[in-house]
Structure 1
């Protein structure tokens, strides 16, 4: 588990005034975690994440400064979309002192200090070979903003090494390998003092391991990215990752699979709620639903029949009224016709006759009879078009033009009437066919559905075969035939073969001399024979396709599970349509296999993430090469006491891997001993607290007077001695 994933706002200390002004305050200013406490105590008082966030309040819009991790219940009142976590560090060096000031304000306030005055000496840690500008800005911040009486700077890895030396874990001469949050350091020690001239640094740490793991899991499980927060990935890293002794062999193990790979695989189950199970309906329930459906259908049929009967009654009543009105009009005198028509609402006798024709057609349509109104409308057509039956010799030129117009209007009207009658008859026939199909379905639904499926398959195959024959018989891609259909000559029917023969003959006969095709009457007869209009075979597919559409639509209405084939072309196969699969428990599992050792491997191979620097094992060899004192005796003593510390040193297998890697860069049979610190995270603060409680601390601090008198030059020359 990460060192800060479960931390919350620390409680404010109430015993600040009980400590004398001579008691130092110890600060471990790490790139990941900030720790502060009193000298001589075993553990720090305040620990929080070393970051600052400035969100806006959703209600008031006021910007609030928050240090460290906050309670999620509190964060719901703030808008954090435009505010991210900001750290004062850049590769383990403090450079954002505005953010550092917020952090120190928060730390001293949690310690119980009132106001901005801190009347206690301060021991603060820094990285190895910290730039003078960073140390000078930190001294300026502590002296001028907080009024600290004296300050001392020390390296966190050196305090950790000295603390473990007192515990007997390491010797006075040795090497400290500190793998922190953003960087890793290798620092040799001689007689308990660090030799910074031979130290080595690599910009790889726990942050890069977590970021690499987050990237791998996000690529592997893109649907679960909201669950892969930074804090959760940090927790998963510390819980499941380990260092492989041989990276290549471990990768090959997972490539082969097997029981050993399965045993090393871990699984993280995300929250998942199983969907409610739907019970299959019983036979009685199915019968009851079928009876309800049939009852509803019968009620709809009865309503439709009643509506049809009422419609027929209304039309018959209207027709009787119109016929009675026409008879009454015949008995009316010529002078009283207009007055009679004005009372009825009609303009002329022709309008009444047209209304009778319209109502008669509607009545026949409602009864399902064909509309035969040609005989009744013959007289009205004669009256409407009086010139069509008169000879042309008896008409004037203007009358001839009018006759042609009336003839065109009559022909168009009759054509529309015939088309309308044909559509009406087709609709009647379709209704009769649907009624017969419904009767068959009600007699035996299962048999009817099976016959309908068979008919749909037959029509589908027939239409597909016809489409295949209409296209080219073969398609070539290089020398490979992509289809095994018949050739063009075998696909032509009799009419098409005759057309091709005529075309070939005409081209052969005309090709010998001058092209005179079209000058004779028989040439146009040949043209008519060659026309595609004589090909009656083209009418067949339209009928079959229309019937296929009707049968397919009927099947979709009766069988919800029926899925028609997609039209993907004549030479493509139809694949099964993917069905929506319900999500299961396995869909909400994140599996860790090769990621468990691949992510921490960047500590030894930084080039895996694009960092062209040395790994932890190479850093030890580089540090020994830079060591100013040459000699096998001193080198043997150093390699015989290698201390691994820092948050990233908690991975299982790192000690064995470091010992094997360092042995490769050292001479044969060299004494190599690698040990892990007692507590890689807190030993730096504990070592600093023990040093601050000793008498040698007060001798090595510099006070405010020294700072204001000597300035930055004195800070540049300042170097803490850990052993006096």
Structure 2
């Protein structure tokens, strides 16, 4: 710093001093402390203990710990962030610093204080402080009055009436359009009947239609749409006849022999055959589903009759059915997942691939094995003949009887379980009784005032406690009370009276000395280190924060202050090594 001040800024002379020493000298002049004593300064970054002998600091007896008010604030910030992670952004450094200065204190015995909060006693509640974060309550909705309900009902009625009128107008417009279109098609068919056969293609080219069948098909669609728009019921017989006629017209090439068809017509015939087969397949599937639905309804009626005849017997049979199905489904699931020792040869409990195969897979393996053995006697000619490829057709069949079984059993189990839930109030399904069900998602609730409250309980005394136990934050150094004993031992005086004079004039200065309970806790800690009956007197500086500046200002205003400074010329003449032995004298 001397090099910076002299060579960069060109100051004429400088003097150095220690803030804790300035504060001690200022309070000594005010009669707060004696010439022999200790200055304890828990500052912002570090904590110092400086012994004074005959009014001058003895720096060889100083003791320092790298813990101060900064670490207390940082520790409190960490604790609050862990306790309330959803309010992390609220814990700014400035706000936590204010909370520390306003609410933190030094406990006389931290272990007793912690047990007090652990038990949740009434005293702990009294020592807990609450910090209310900004919170705006949600607006409360008042129930609507009868006049408001009637007004809204009238509005809804008017809106409904308007919508009905719009729908009726749209329906009338659509009916008019369909009637006009139907009249146009009727007129077109009438005109087509009067046209000669040779003039039909030229007549149709002007109308935009390709054939008479297309006009009749459009006429049928418009008639059906008009009937639907008017809400008239369908004539099933007419519709069936028209469907049959349209089917015959749609697949007109199917019944014609291939000999008399052109190549283009043959391709069209193949397309018609494919489309017809798919259409018939869909019809068969629809019919099958309809029959299955009828069969299901018939079984339900039979079961209902059995239940009415003997409800107790029916319920007992239903329970037995449920037990049998559940065991079967569980066994099938185990076989699917882990396999099973079904052949008796697997003594070690391991499961081979063949034991996990279903019936379809085993059949495929059998076919492949048979083909391999049959063809393995000589040259491999498999695939040379057309019938060899029938093997792949057999392998590609979806023979999933074993696969379909578990699905049918599970569906039947679900049906029986639902039936038991309806009939037996004491029945509990196995899925609900087990512990493997996923937990329900937490229900959201509106935030209240309590959700924006920060409670300071044990943190009030736990954070400043690191001044006496720095190892809590990973600093392996002495605490504030131990530092006094270390400083006295470093002086090396054997006179007990001298140690008594030091401990009878201990001055607390620095910002962190403002915690409530600091003097009492420090006195009890030093008393445990000193012999029984030792005199211990601790005083707090008049202004622990500003007394260091006031002492330095008073020191600089003395007439002999220039004797404690060194000039720029001394620096260039004696060098920077001379500064290392610089010792300011605070008594001028």
With normalisation by structure 2, the TM-score equals: 0.70
Structure-1 separation of matches of 2:477 and 2:539: 24
Matched with 1:184 is 47
Structure-2 separation of matches of 1:310 and 1:189: 109
Equivalent residues of 2:329, 2:410 under 8 A apart: no
Bigger relative contact order, structure 1 or 2, given CA contacts below 8 A and separation 6+? Answer: 2
Q: Relative to 1, partners in 2 of residues 1:147 and 1:533: Cα closer, same or farther, differing over 3 Å?
A: closer
Q: Relative to 1, partners in 2 of residues 1:473 and 1:377: Cα closer, same or farther, differing over 3 Å?
A: closer
Q: Relative to 1, partners in 2 of residues 1:389 and 1:420: Cα closer, same or farther, differing over 3 Å?
A: closer
Following superposition, the deviation at residue 386 of structure 1 comes to: 4.9
Q: Relative to 1, partners in 2 of residues 1:198 and 1:361: Cα closer, same or farther, differing over 3 Å?
A: same
Matched with 1:472 is 329
SS at match of 2:15: strand
Q: Relative to 1, partners in 2 of residues 1:354 and 1:246: Cα closer, same or farther, differing over 3 Å?
A: same
Equivalent residues of 1:159, 1:683 under 8 A apart: yes
Structure-2 separation of matches of 1:281 and 1:651: 56
Matched with 1:598 is 462
Structure-2 separation of matches of 1:291 and 1:577: 41
Matched with 1:656 is 520
SS at match of 1:618: helix
Q: Relative to 1, partners in 2 of residues 1:361 and 1:471: Cα closer, same or farther, differing over 3 Å?
A: farther
Q: Relative to 1, partners in 2 of residues 1:672 and 1:415: Cα closer, same or farther, differing over 3 Å?
A: same
SS at match of 2:163: helix
Following superposition, the deviation at residue 681 of structure 1 comes to: 0.8
- The unaligned stretches of length 5 or more in structure 2 are 290-321, 335-358, 360-399, 419-430
Q: Relative to 1, partners in 2 of residues 1:587 and 1:532: Cα closer, same or farther, differing over 3 Å?
A: closer
Matched with 1:640 is 504
Equivalent residues of 1:175, 1:188 under 8 A apart: yes
Trace 1:295-374 onto structure 2 (pairs within 5 A).
295-366=158-229, 367=231, 369=234, 372-374=238-240
Q: Relative to 1, partners in 2 of residues 1:540 and 1:332: Cα closer, same or farther, differing over 3 Å?
A: farther
Q: Relative to 1, partners in 2 of residues 1:388 and 1:342: Cα closer, same or farther, differing over 3 Å?
A: closer
Equivalent residues of 1:388, 1:403 under 8 A apart: no
SS at match of 1:316: helix
Q: Relative to 1, partners in 2 of residues 1:330 and 1:532: Cα closer, same or farther, differing over 3 Å?
A: farther
Following superposition, the deviation at residue 151 of structure 1 comes to: 1.8
Following superposition, the deviation at residue 570 of structure 1 comes to: 9.4
Deviation by residue 1:612-637 (Cα, 9 ceiling, x = unmatched): 11110010111111112222111111
Following superposition, the deviation at residue 187 of structure 1 comes to: 1.1
Following superposition, the deviation at residue 267 of structure 1 comes to: 1.5
Matched with 1:705 is 569
SS at match of 1:358: helix
- The unaligned stretches of length 5 or more in structure 1 are 1-136, 427-464, 478-502, 504-529, 549-567
Structure-2 separation of matches of 1:211 and 1:382: 90
Deviation by residue 1:134-159 (Cα, 9 ceiling, x = unmatched): xxx3x233334444332221111111
Deviation by residue 1:355-399 (Cα, 9 ceiling, x = unmatched): 223323333443353674442465565555455456x7xx74979
SS at match of 1:472: helix
Equivalent residues of 1:357, 1:373 under 8 A apart: no
Matched positions, count: 475
Q: Relative to 1, partners in 2 of residues 1:352 and 1:231: Cα closer, same or farther, differing over 3 Å?
A: same
Deviation by residue 1:290-311 (Cα, 9 ceiling, x = unmatched): 3433443343344334433432
SS at match of 1:234: helix
Deviation by residue 1:649-692 (Cα, 9 ceiling, x = unmatched): 11111111111111111122211111111111111111122222
Trace 1:311-460 onto structure 2 (pairs within 5 A).
311-366=174-229, 367=231, 369=234, 372-376=238-242, 378=244, 381-382=247-248, 385-386=251-252, 388-389=254-255, 396=259, 406=269, 409=272, 412-413=275-276, 416=279
Matched with 2:585 is 721
Deviation by residue 1:308-345 (Cα, 9 ceiling, x = unmatched): 34323322332232122112211112232233223322
Q: Relative to 1, partners in 2 of residues 1:200 and 1:577: Cα closer, same or farther, differing over 3 Å?
A: closer
Moved more, 407-416 or 674-683: 407-416
Equivalent residues of 2:15, 2:565 under 8 A apart: yes
Q: Relative to 1, partners in 2 of residues 1:665 and 1:389: Cα closer, same or farther, differing over 3 Å?
A: same
Deviation by residue 1:535-577 (Cα, 9 ceiling, x = unmatched): 9x969979x99xx9xxxxxxxxxxxxxxxxxxx9895768766
Following superposition, the deviation at residue 471 of structure 1 comes to: 7.8
Following superposition, the deviation at residue 288 of structure 1 comes to: 3.0
SS at match of 2:539: strand
Structure-2 separation of matches of 1:389 and 1:159: 121
Matched with 2:339 is none
Equivalent residues of 1:185, 1:200 under 8 A apart: yes
Equivalent residues of 2:254, 2:272 under 8 A apart: no
Matched with 1:689 is 553
1:169 to 32, 41, 47: 32
Trace 1:160-239 onto structure 2 (pairs within 5 A).
160-239=23-102
Larger proportion of strand: 1
Equivalent residues of 2:47, 2:66 under 8 A apart: yes
Does residue 285 in structure 1 map to residue 145 in structure 2? no
Equivalent residues of 2:24, 2:39 under 8 A apart: yes
1:678 to 532, 542, 548: 542
Deviation by residue 1:66-119 (Cα, 9 ceiling, x = unmatched): xxxxxxxxxxxxxxxxxxxxxxxxxxxxxxxxxxxxxxxxxxxxxxxxxxxxxx
Structure-1 separation of matches of 2:432 and 2:274: 43
Equivalent residues of 1:243, 1:652 under 8 A apart: yes
Following superposition, the deviation at residue 205 of structure 1 comes to: 0.6
2:477 to 613, 629, 637: 613
Equivalent residues of 1:176, 1:643 under 8 A apart: yes
Following superposition, the deviation at residue 408 of structure 1 comes to: 7.1
Structure-2 separation of matches of 1:252 and 1:340: 106
Deviation by residue 1:47-68 (Cα, 9 ceiling, x = unmatched): xxxxxxxxxxxxxxxxxxxxxx
Structure-2 separation of matches of 1:476 and 1:314: 62
Equivalent residues of 2:56, 2:585 under 8 A apart: yes
Deviation by residue 1:503-530 (Cα, 9 ceiling, x = unmatched): 9xxxxxxxxxxxxxxxxxxxxxxxxxx9
Structure-1 separation of matches of 2:581 and 2:153: 97
